[in-house]
């Protein structure tokens, strides 16, 4: 039977239970990604911390493990719900709203906190739609996705195919990513062209056995231009997204972003844009997706982007183009981390909550680097250790520059 993959547009819309893999150590085997545990400990979830210590001492039987996993999932959902309520209350206070937004105008007052006006939303919606037009939708067989990926590679120009092979060789040259690409259902689609809003993006889906599946879209234009260094960095960036789960801000703000999108889409100006559509319901749904993406980019997107930018340091080009000429790759990463820290500050979370999330993000960054180091042969570990130290130093520097320590 062919394996099926249901592609989904956003990870935050599709929470799922942690997946057990035979090769995983005991604690992640019980609870999922070890970064989740660091996150929950930061949040003060003492029951999870106690369970972590218990599992580390004594692996539990399968039946008990299933019960603990269900309890953990329930606790995690409660944590995100309560955290979201705290975030929303503070956001409403800053927007001078005494109640949950009930109109498009009130929803736009919150969006304004994040630097989004109705003009900006209307102007950027078409670009979002074009840039994400290659998303896979619905249920697809894994064999079909593999065929689609090969077809897209074959469609590249000869120079693009050579560049693709070089990119894959460079990324697979690191043991951790090679093992992940070999073991996980990850499909690379070189299909982004033109003036795309994104250098790459990752779709998160679920295979028919409940395990995660990923479709990574990268730039065919950059490959055809022979930009091996930049595309390799982008691919590591996107692969790091496949490891980052969950986004505490994304999961916590998910209900608010959904309700704001449903309100803003009813603004008379946006209703006028879809007037006369052949399928009014689909036109409205498309606008909701575009608005939600814009709200997400100004809020929860920053948490994951900080994490993945710090991971891509290992594959950054020595220099990248800047407004005033070439800049060092590490300086570019620092600038991007500072940009996303400023966006996280602007969300309106309680300062103590933001600091806790960022402290956890630093630990999760270190944890993934440690996993990459452990997977590497001895001769390659020192380089990864240097990059880990650089990543953590840049994060400390960025937090100091943005007053988020």
What percent of the chain is predicted at pLDDT more than 90? Answer: 70
Give the C-alpha separation, 39 to 299, whole Å.
Answer: 18
Tokens of 208: 């028919």
Longest Cα–Cα distance in the chain: 64
What Cα–Cα distance (Å) separates residue 355 from each residue in 211, 359, 399? 32, 6, 10
What ranges in 118-218 are assigned the alpha helix state H? 118-131, 142-154, 158-172, 175-183
pLDDT given for residue 322 in this prediction = 87
- How is the chain split into domains, by residue range? 4-401
* Structural tokens at position 379: 């001769």
Of 62-71, 73-82, 150-159, give the range with the top mean pLDDT. Answer: 150-159
Residue 221 has pLDDT above 70, yes or no: yes
Neighbouring CB atoms inside 10 A of 244's CB total 23
Do the bridges between strand 319-320 and strand 327-328 make them parallel or antiparallel, or are there none, so unpaired?
antiparallel
Q: Please give the DSSP secondary-structure letter assigned to residue 214.
A: E
What is the SS3 assignment for 206? strand
Percent of the chain at pLDDT above 70?
A: 82
Stronger pLDDT, 28 or 56, i.e. the higher one: 56
Cα four-point dihedral sign 24, 26, 27, 31: positive
The 3-state DSSP class for residue 321 equals coil
d(CA 132, CA 192): 9
User: pLDDT tens for residues 154-201?
Assistant: 999 999 999 999 999 999 999 999 999 999 999 999 999 877 788 999
Compute the C-alpha angle 118/121/124, nearest 5°.
Answer: 145
């Amino acid at each position: 039977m062919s394996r099926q993959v249901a592609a989904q547009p956003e990870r935050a819309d599709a929470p799922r239970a942690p997946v057990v893999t035979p090769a995983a150590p005991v604690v992640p085997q019980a609870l999922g990604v070890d970064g989740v545990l660091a996150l929950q400990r930061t949040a003060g979830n003492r029951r999870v911390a106690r369970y972590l210590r218990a599992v580390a001492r004594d692996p539990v039987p399968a039946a008990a493990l299933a019960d603990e996993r269900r309890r953990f999932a329930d606790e995690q959902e409660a944590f995100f719900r309560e955290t979201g309520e705290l975030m929303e209350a503070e956001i409403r206070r800053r927007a001078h709203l005494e109640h949950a937004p009930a109109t498009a105008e009130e929803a736009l007052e919150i969006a304004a906190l994040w630097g989004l006006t109705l003009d900006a939303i209307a102007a950027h919606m078409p670009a979002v739609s074009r840039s994400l037009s290659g998303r896979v939708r619905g249920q697809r067989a894994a064999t079909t996705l593999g065929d689609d990926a090969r077809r897209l590679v074959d469609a590249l120009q000869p120079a693009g195919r050579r560049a693709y092979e070089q990119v894959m060789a460079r990324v697979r040259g690191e043991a951790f990513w090679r093992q992940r690409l070999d073991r996980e259902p990850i499909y690379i689609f070189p299909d982004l062209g033109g003036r795309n809003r994104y250098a790459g993006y990752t779709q998160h889906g679920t295979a028919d056995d409940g395990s995660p599946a990923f479709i990574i879209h990268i730039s065919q234009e950059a490959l055809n231009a022979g930009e091996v260094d930049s595309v390799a960095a982008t691919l590591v960036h996107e692969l790091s997204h496949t490891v980052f789960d969950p986004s505490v801000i994304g999961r916590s703000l998910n209900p608010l972003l959904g309700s704001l999108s449903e309100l803003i889409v009813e603004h008379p100006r946006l209703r006028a844009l879809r007037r006369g559509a052949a399928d009014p319901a689909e036109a409205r749904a498309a606008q909701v997706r575009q608005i939600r993406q814009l709200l997400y980019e100004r809020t929860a997107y920053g948490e994951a982007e900080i994490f993945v930018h710090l991971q891509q340091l290992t594959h950054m080009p020595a220099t990248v183009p800047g407004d005033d000429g070439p800049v060092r790759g590490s300086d570019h990463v620092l600038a991007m981390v500072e940009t996303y820290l400023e966006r996280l500050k602007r969300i309106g979370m309680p300062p103590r909550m933001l600091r806790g999330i960022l402290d956890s993000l630093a630990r999760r960054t270190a944890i993934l680097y440690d996993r990459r180091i452990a997977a590497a042969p001895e001769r390659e570990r020192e380089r990864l250790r240097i990059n880990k130290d650089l990543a953590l130093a840049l994060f400390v520097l960025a937090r100091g520059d943005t007053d988020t320590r």
